[in-house]
Amino acid sequence: MSRIGKKAVAIPSGVNVTLDGQTVTVKGPKGQLSWTIAEEITVSQEGSDLLLVARDDSKRAKSMWGLSRTLVANMVQGVTAGFEETLELVGVGYRAAMKGDALSIQLGFSHDVNVEPPAGVTFAVPKQTEIKIAGADKQAVGEIAAKIRRIRPPEPYKGKGVRYAGEKVRRKEGKKK
């Protein structure tokens, strides 16, 4: 049995949840998100809580139960508080700047790398070596952060590259004579 799926999703004031068959739509101060829940899960609203229940005991229903509850809880958190990811640029000459809504990054290539934000995601550059990515959709924020990190991942010898804030990079010792 799913221990996560058994928990009810609390809906804070100021958030409007609409159930249309298997589609859950959540509206809040930071935007609107919607997602279609798997057929094996039943969703119902009781007061200020959303309850998700597996329709049967199949393996797929059990696995989708906890996932569905977590995704709905992330949608509620996203439209109320939002999600934020911070990236750090480590290396000589590595810096970021805003060009309109887009992000322009210098990472040691012969050209600047320009990254356009997807819908619902915003970039901010508080320092030249720091990028903040914010939005209501947790998956979109994490995906664009991973794409930016993939441009120049941290390397183990000097530690240069794009890394998540607080990420520890395992360093290797260089070649000896």
**Cα distances (Å, whole numbers) of residue 48 to 15, 17, 45, 149:** 10, 10, 7, 39
Between CA 112 and CA 121 the distance in angstroms is 21
Domain 83-164: top CATH class: alpha beta
Query: 174 pLDDT band (50/70/90 cuts)?
Result: confident
CA distance 64 to 36: 12
Using one digit for the tens of pLDDT, what is the confidence trace for 26-77? 999 999 999 999 999 999 999 899 999 999 989 999 889 999 999 999 999 9
Establish whether domains 3-80 and 83-164 are of one fold.
Answer: yes
- The full set of domain ranges for the chain reads 3-80, 83-164
Give the predicted TM-score (pTM) of the model.
Answer: 0.88
CA separation (Å) from 127 to 65, 71, 151? Answer: 42, 32, 19
**For residue range 72-91, what is the model confidence (pLDDT) as tens digits?**
999 999 999 999 999 999 99
Residue 19 and residue 60 in contact, taking contact as beta carbons nearer than 8 Å: no
Using CB atoms within 10 Å of the CB of residue 85, give its burial: 0 to 12 exposed, 13 to 18 middle, 19+ buried. Answer: buried
Q: Say which CATH topology domain 3-80 has.
A: Outer Surface Protein A; domain 3 (3.90.930)
